[in-house]
């Protein structure tokens, strides 16, 4: 195991509160259930036990034999879970439903490509009872990408980072899981301002379908800064973004959910600086009010050379890119980050990390998480099938030393991995965790502590490619303090 531990810099202000101002197949679709629920800005796992839990997955490429994807349903309980998966396709493909059974303390994996063929296929997973967890894995020649599914649709979605330089593709995936049409307005934010093409004002997304918008094909080629705003004037939906990078100091593939709303505080666990590494944070303010964003670098040793970044103005409706190479005295290696407006929710932030990968580079993009998801216990439904070093990055948010244990979920329930038990983490420090013990291969994992944590995955990209693909583990709520979405 390779552990890396460090103490936070003097810029840390005592933890979260004080740190930043405290089956069978049939063609019949199933109607989505839109019950009242607390607003959730990011995916999470819950131990509540409703009659039915519905998960919505962002979508995976499924157009030909070179691409594909999986829907992975994890059952951490001691009883089998019954459910139903409904796949929605683009290109006018009819939806497809399949009943599933997820064995106790096990996972069920559905190969999307074997079930339905379309440019993109999204999924709705309905589970009888609570406590099931759903994620997806997109399979792509330029690198696989894992993303958690979410339990709520939303009328608004935002992306800070978009990129169409050197022929790079940027596709917006609009999924309507309901029985009624959804009417949406799309806007694109570039260096030169906001563009609202008439073709995407009042655009309709048909019931039980997926619509794919290729950004570059709509007059937005060679854009290095390209935010996206999706607002439904009627109905709710799920919106994701797939990017394939061909140049402009980016190579690889990413696919992830957007942010349903801006936030006042955005966190990242696995930032990194060093030779050949480019680390940028792209901040989008979709509101009508200017924002000032405080940037705090976490998990660093205190050195006289380090100088905290100044506050950054992010005007209303604009995008600002913050590059960590501008931070004086930032040492090479891992660090965590938090971006705070200390005012009304106003920002969406994504991290773009490009690192050397053999004789090439690999780019990974991660949407920042929000303060309500800083919790002591995290799930890793999709982990590793073979040994992987530095596969988890864990940041101890609180100003108290703690210990972390990784457990594998198997026939005996949650079992602590002997080599990953009681790993020490200093107050406001971070470590990396190797997943090399065979007992974790192909198993859902739990990462837990007595203190609050942030947990990011850095999983192998597959296809014999070097480098890793970043994604969040899934926080357990419980403790999450949900609120209503802000008014823009």
Kindly state whether residue 361 falls inside one of the protein's structural domains.
Answer: no
Domain boundary among 234, 257, 280: 257
What angle (nearest 5°) sits at the alpha carbon of residue 394, between those of residues 390 and 399? 145
β-strand partners of 377: 448
181: domain CATH number?
Answer: 2.60.290.11
| 237 and 124 assigned to the same domain | no
Give the span between the Cα atoms of 6 and 431, in whole angstroms: 8
User: Do 194 and 245 share a structural domain?
Assistant: yes
Percent of the chain past pLDDT 70, that is, above it, reads: 88
Q: Which residue has the tokens 């070179």?
A: 66
Q: Which residues, 6+ apart, have CB-to-CB distance to 435 below 8 Å?
A: 383, 384, 387, 388, 391, 392, 445
Task: Give residue 102's pLDDT band: very low, low, confident or very high (50, 70, 90).
Answer: very high
CA distances (Å), origin 43, targets 30, 70, 333: 22, 18, 28
Please state, in angstroms and rounded to a whole number, the distance separating the CA atoms of residues 222 and 78: 52
Residues 74 and 40 in one domain: yes
Kindly state whether residue 76 falls inside one of the protein's structural domains.
Answer: yes
Do the domain assignments include residue 383? no
Number of domains in the chain: 2
As a whole number of angstroms, the distance between CA 265 and CA 476 comes to: 19
Grade residue 31 by pLDDT with cuts at 50, 70 and 90.
very low
In the structure, what pLDDT confidence band is assigned to residue 13 with cuts at 50, 70 and 90?
A: very low
Residue 323 inside a domain? The answer is: no
Mean pLDDT of the chain: 90
Mean pLDDT of 83-89: 97
DSSP 300: -
Neighbouring-strand partners of residue 115: none
> Is the residue at 406 inside a domain?
no
Residues 132 and 38 in one domain: yes
Note the pLDDT of residue 14: 36
What is the per-residue pLDDT for 131?
Answer: 81
Query: What sign does the CA torsion over 111, 44, 314, 354 have?
Result: negative
Same domain, 144 and 196: no
Mean pLDDT of 436-465: 97
Instruction: Quick: pLDDT tens for 197-254.
Output: 999 999 999 999 999 999 999 999 999 999 999 999 999 999 999 999 999 999 999 9
Does position 6 have pLDDT exceeding 70, yes or no?
Answer: no
In degrees rounded to 5, what are phi and psi of residue 162? -145, 155
The reply to whether 193 and 233 lie within a common domain is yes
142 in the same domain as 103: yes
Q: Is 123 in contact with 112 (CB distance < 8 Å)?
A: yes
pLDDT band for position 35 (50/70/90)? very low
Q: Please check the confidence at residue 5 and state whether its pLDDT lies above 50.
A: no
Please say whether the beta carbons of 378 and 455 come within 8 A: yes
How confident is the model at residue 301, as a pLDDT? Answer: 79
| pLDDT at residue number 346 | 95
Q: Give the integer Cα–Cα distance in Å for 218 and 92.
A: 21
Taking only the tens place, the pLDDT of each residue in 452-482 is 999 999 999 999 999 999 999 999 986 566 5
pLDDT at 485: 42
pLDDT for residue 305: 84
Residue 376: the pLDDT is 95
Q: Once rounded to an integer, what is the mean pLDDT over residues 167-189?
A: 97
Q: 143 and 169 in one domain?
A: no
Whether pTM > 0.75 for this model: the answer is yes
Instruction: Evaluate whether residue 13 is within a structural domain.
Output: no
Distance CA(483)–CA(344), nearest Å, equals 13
Ordered strands of the 333-340 beta sheet? 312-314, 291-298, 333-340, 265-273, 369-370
Q: How many helices (H) and strands (E) does the chain have?
A: 2, 37
Shared domain check, 91 and 174 = no
The domain in which residue 92 lies consists of 25-148
Span 88-115, average pLDDT: 96
* 186 is a domain residue: yes
Q: Is the pLDDT confidence value at 22 over 50?
A: no
Residue 46: pLDDT band with limits 50, 70, 90: confident
For residues 203 and 233, membership in a common domain is answered with yes
In whole angstroms, give the CA distance from residue 10 to residue 297: 10
Q: What is the pLDDT of residues 184-199, one digit of tens each?
A: 999 999 999 999 999 9
pLDDT score of 159: 98
Quick one: average pLDDT of 140-164?
Answer: 97
Domain shared by 208 and 118, yes or no: no
The least confident of 1-5, 63-67, 296-300, 453-457 is 1-5
Count Cβ neighbours within 10 Å for each residue of 186-211 and write b for 16 or more, e otherwise: bbbbbeeeeeeeeebeebebebbbbb
What percent of the chain stands above pLDDT 90?
83
Q: Tell me the pLDDT tens digit for each residue of 326-379.
A: 999 999 999 999 999 988 899 999 999 999 999 999 999 999 999 989 999 999
Give the pLDDT band (50/70/90) at residue 39.
low
Q: Check whether residue 243 and residue 164 sit in a common domain.
A: yes
What's the pLDDT at 51? 66
């Amino acid at each position: 195991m390779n552990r890396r531990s460090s103490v936070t810099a003097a810029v840390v202000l005592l933890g979260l509160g004080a740190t930043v101002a405290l089956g069978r197949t049939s063609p019949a679709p199933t109607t989505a259930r839109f019950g009242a629920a607390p607003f959730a800005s990011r995916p999470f796992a819950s131990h509540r036990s409703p009659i039915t839990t519905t998960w919505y997955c962002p979508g995976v490429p499924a157009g030909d034999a070179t691409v594909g994807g999986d829907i992975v349903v994890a059952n951490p309980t001691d009883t089998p879970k019954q459910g139903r998966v409904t796949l929605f396709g683009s290109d006018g493909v009819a939806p497809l439903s399949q009943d599933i059974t997820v064995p106790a303390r096990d996972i069920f994996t559905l190969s999307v490509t074997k079930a339905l063929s379309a440019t993109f296929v999204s999924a709705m997973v309905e589970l009888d009872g609570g406590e099931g967890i759903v994620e997806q894995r997109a399979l792509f020649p330029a690198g696989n990408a894992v993303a958690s599914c979410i339990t709520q649709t939303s009328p608004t979605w935002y992306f800070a980072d978009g990129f169409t330089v050197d022929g790079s593709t940027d596709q917006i995936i609009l999924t309507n899981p309901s029985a009624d049409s959804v009417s949406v307005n799309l806007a694109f934010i570039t260096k030169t301002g906001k563009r609202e093409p008439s073709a995407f004002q009042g655009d309709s997304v048909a019931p039980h379908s997926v619509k794919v918008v290729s950004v570059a094909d709509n007059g937005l080629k060679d854009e290095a800064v390209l935010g996206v705003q999706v607002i439904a004037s009627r109905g709710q939906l799920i919106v994701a973004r797939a990017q394939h990078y061909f140049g402009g100091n980016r190579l690889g593939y990413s696919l992830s959910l957007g942010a349903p709303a801006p936030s006042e505080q955005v966190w990242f666990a696995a930032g990194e600086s060093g030779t050949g590494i480019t680390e940028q944070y792209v901040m989008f303010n979709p509101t009508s009010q200017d924002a000032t964003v405080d940037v705090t670098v976490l998990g660093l040793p205190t050195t006289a050379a380090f100088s905290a970044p100044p506050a950054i103005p992010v005007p209303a409706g604009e995008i600002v890119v913050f590059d960590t190479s501008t931070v004086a005295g930032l040492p090479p290696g891992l660090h965590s980050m938090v971006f705070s407006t200390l005012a009304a929710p106003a920002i969406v932030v994504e991290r773009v990390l490009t690192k050397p990968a053999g004789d090439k580079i690999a780019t990974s993009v991660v949407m920042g998480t929000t303060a309500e998801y800083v919790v002591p216990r995290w799930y890793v439904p999709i982990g590793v099938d073979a040994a992987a070093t530095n596969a988890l990055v864990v940041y101890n948010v609180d100003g108290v030393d703690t210990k972390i244990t990784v457990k594998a979920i198997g026939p005996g329930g949650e079992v602590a991995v002997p080599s990953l038990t009681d790993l020490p983490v200093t107050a406001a420090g971070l470590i990396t965790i190797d997943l090399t013990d065979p007992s974790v291969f192909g198993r859902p994992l739990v990462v837990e502590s007595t203190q609050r944590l942030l947990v990011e995955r850095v999983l192998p990209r597959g296809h014999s490619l070097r480098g890793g693909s970043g994604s969040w583990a899934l926080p357990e709520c419980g403790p999450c303090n949900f609120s209503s979405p802000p008014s823009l």
